[in-house]
């Protein structure tokens, strides 16, 4: 069986190109899944408002993407400010775009970004290369002066930094190359949104005190732990010590004291792979460079155990992958999208259920566009997943101005639960009510889950988080749900709340502010 792929590309100067047609023999690819949508899901083009469109084509390459509680997806491109389009808001309902000019003279490409407690998106660092690393920061505001406002600069220039939303509403900036000379910043720093600085009251940066030299990789995998003030560095590597063990060093940072503490050596570096915290304190890494012949290794570490240790999962991913995205789904499953195997794009998605009796990766449906480095993937409110942007290996160094949407198998397996009412704001540790819409055949409710809104770039979502909630089913339609105990379990900000049936079919999500 053959599949024809049309790739819409753009050069670094912004001119539209059509890379032509490429015929790929699915039989020649190792793990392509063929089956019904209820078994492997389905890829399709996104909506668009053009009356005679190719709806796959977007006005920009979505190298960065952030999900807002308005349901819009904030996306932006890369490169020369004179020729690249400004950031835009994409509406998943009708496919329309609206421009949101930044009003600043620095590029947002290769920045880090994460959501603040009010849902505003903080963007910091980046630049057109490590030698041009910047210290500027900007915020997309949901309230106030909006939509963009420049905030106080960081203490260090950072190209490829990771931003991590902390339990108290602040944001940690870690790593990223600095410009003079080109190296990795040694000291993490924290943005306090209420701190007063020279630009005003929109926030200021302070270095983490007493933090010793720790040369982390660019875009490190950083995760808030259930323990107070602890952030876990899960890789890809620490290159400040003697190799090879240092490249597999993982450990915690105490954001109050600056103390780094060794936890365990990872089975692999995970460089050019991806990672997720699939439940509070539980981290999975999948794909990326290894010392072996393939890049399909998977490993997990569980901080709910007394002595956390990395554990390899066999078999690994169905496809070796670099530069792919991992997306947390409302059901708790982990979806892998895109990437490359050597010089070949990987078209089949796959997913992993960490709570299965025998967890393993399962191949899913095949998408139509290559999505390599610089691609993004975002969970939408309706349970589908947006995949967009990415270098296209059909024509190296060109970036894809395209997007497509994946409907996971759970959307084809039966009736979905439907939320009739959920609160828009809840406080930590409180109980709240969720009311289900009455249906002819009321599904049995198995789970209530929170998924934090995405902020993704360069194969790592710096903002997503999955949190299962305790609940009691009071009647057929009424649930009594308990909010997370504190910000260490779920940092303050916007989430989507989902109700999941015993058939592992999720409802449409509702936006909820946790404070």
Instruction: Annotate 176-208 with DSSP letters as a single string.
Output: -BEETTEE--SS-EEEETT--BTTBSS-EEEEP
Residue 352 in domain: no
Q: What is the signed CA dihedral for 170, 204, 72, 174, rounded to 10 degrees?
A: -60
- Residue 3 — pLDDT band, cuts 50, 70, 90? very low
Check whether 397 has a pLDDT greater than 60: no
Residue 160 in domain: no
Pairing of β 334-337 and β 348-352: antiparallel
Check whether 111 has a pLDDT greater than 80: yes
Residue 479 in domain: yes
320 or 199, greater pLDDT: 320
Distance CA 92, CA 113 (A): 21
Structural domain count of the chain: 1
pLDDT number for residue 321: 92
- Residue 45 — pLDDT band, cuts 50, 70, 90? very high
- Sheet containing 42-44: order of strands: 42-44, 403-407, 385-389, 375-379
Distances (CA, A) of 347 to 14, 350, 444: 25, 10, 35
CB 379, CB 328: distance < 8 Å = yes
146 or 311, greater pLDDT: 311
Check whether 13 has a pLDDT greater than 70: no
Residue 222 in domain: no
pLDDT number for residue 406: 98
- Residue 473 — pLDDT band, cuts 50, 70, 90? very high
pLDDT number for residue 169: 93
Residue 114 in domain: no
- The strand ranges marked E within 141-292 are 148-151, 162-165, 171-174, 178-179, 182-183, 189-192, 204-207, 222-224, 230-233, 249-254, 260-265, 274-279, 282-286
Q: What is the percent of the chain where pLDDT is above 90? A: 64
CB 481, CB 143: distance < 8 Å = no
Residue 111 in domain: no
Check whether 19 has a pLDDT greater than 70: no
Check whether 31 has a pLDDT greater than 70: no
For residue 412, the SS3 value is helix
- Residue 2 — pLDDT band, cuts 50, 70, 90? very low
- Residue 210 — pLDDT band, cuts 50, 70, 90? confident
Residue 291 in domain: no
pTM tops 0.85, yes or no: yes
Please give the DSSP secondary-structure letter assigned to residue 283: E
Distance CA 443, CA 390 (A): 39
Instruction: Annotate 372-408 with DSSP letters as a single string.
Output: -TTEEEEE-TTS-EEEEE-B-TTSTT-EE-BEEEEE-
pLDDT tens digits, residue range 118-157?
A: 999 999 999 888 888 999 999 998 877 778 988 899 999 9
448: exposed, middle or buried (Cβ count in 10 Å: 0-12, 13-18, 19+): buried
Distance CA 422, CA 507 (A): 12
pLDDT number for residue 10: 39
Residue 446 in domain: yes
199 or 506, greater pLDDT: 506
- Sheet containing 445-452: order of strands: 419-421, 431-436, 478-482, 466-473, 445-452, 493-501, 510-514, 425-426
Q: What is the mean pLDDT of residues 49-59?
A: 84
Check whether 4 has a pLDDT greater than 50: no
pLDDT number for residue 17: 32
Please give the DSSP secondary-structure letter assigned to residue 256: T
**Domain boundaries, position 507:** 414-514
Q: What is the mean pLDDT of residues 61-83?
A: 85
User: What DSSP element (H or E) covers 242?
Assistant: none
CATH of the domain at 464: 2.60.40.10
């Amino acid at each position: 069986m053959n599949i024809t792929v049309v790739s819409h590309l753009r050069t670094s100067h912004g001119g539209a190109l059509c890379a032509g047609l490429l015929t790929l023999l699915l039989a020649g690819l190792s793990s392509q899944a063929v089956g019904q949508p209820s078994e492997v899901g389905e890829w399709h083009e996104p909506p668009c408002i053009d009356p005679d469109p190719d709806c796959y084509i977007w006005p920009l390459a979505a190298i960065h993407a952030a999900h807002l509680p308005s349901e819009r997806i904030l996306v932006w491109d890369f490169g020369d400010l004179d020729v690249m389009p400004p950031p835009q808001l994409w509406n998943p309902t009708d496919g329309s775009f609206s421009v949101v000019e930044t009003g600043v003279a620095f590029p947002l490409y290769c920045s880090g970004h994460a959501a603040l407690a009010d849902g505003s998106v903080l963007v910091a660092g980046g630049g057109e290369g490590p030698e041009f690393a910047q210290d500027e920061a900007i915020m997309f505001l949901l309230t106030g002066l909006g939509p963009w406002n420049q905030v106080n600069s960081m203490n260090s220039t950072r190209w490829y930094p990771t931003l991590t939303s902390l339990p108290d509403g602040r944001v940690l900036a870690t790593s990223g190359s600095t410009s003079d000379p080109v190296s990795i910043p040694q000291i993490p720093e924290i943005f306090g949104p209420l701190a007063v600085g020279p630009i005003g009251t929109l926030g200021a940066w302070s270095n983490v005190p007493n933090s010793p030299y720790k040369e982390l990789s660019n875009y490190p995998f950083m995760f808030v732990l259930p323990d107070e003030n602890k952030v876990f560095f899960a890789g890809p590597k620490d290159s400040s010590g003697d190799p090879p063990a240092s490249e597999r060093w993982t450990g915690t940072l105490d954001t109050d004291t600056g103390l780094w503490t060794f936890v365990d050596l990872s089975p692999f570096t995970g460089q050019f792979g991806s990672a997720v915290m699939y439940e509070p304190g539980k981290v999975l890494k999948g794909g990326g460079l290894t010392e072996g012949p393939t890049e399909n290794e998977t490993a997990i570490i569980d901080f709910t155990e007394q002595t956390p240790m990395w554990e390899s999962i066999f078999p690994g991913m169905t496809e070796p992958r670099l530069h792919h995205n991992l997306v947390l789904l409302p059901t708790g499953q982990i979806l892998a999208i895109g990437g490359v195997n050597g010089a070949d794009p990987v078209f089949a998605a796959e997913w992993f259920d960490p709570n299965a009796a025998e967890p393993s990766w399962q191949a899913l449906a095949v998408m139509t566009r290559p999505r390599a480095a610089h691609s993004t993937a975002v969970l939408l409110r309706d349970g589908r997943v947006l995949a967009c942007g990415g270098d296209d290996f059909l024509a190296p160094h060109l970036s894809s101005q395209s997007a497509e949407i994946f409907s996971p198998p759970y959307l084809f397996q039966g009736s979905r639960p439907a939320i009739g009412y959920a609160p828009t704001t809840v406080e930590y540790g409180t109980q709240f009510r969720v009311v289900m819409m009455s249906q002819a055949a009321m599904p049995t409710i198995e789970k209530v889950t929170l998924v934090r809104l995405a902020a993704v770039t360069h194969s790592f979502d710096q903002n997503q988080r999955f949190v299962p909630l305790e609940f009691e089913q009071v009647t057929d339609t009424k649930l009594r749900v308990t909010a997370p105990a504190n910000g260490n379990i779920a940092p303050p900000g916007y989430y989507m709340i989902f109700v999941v049936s015993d058939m592992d079919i999720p409802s449409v999500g509702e936006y909820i502010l946790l404070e």
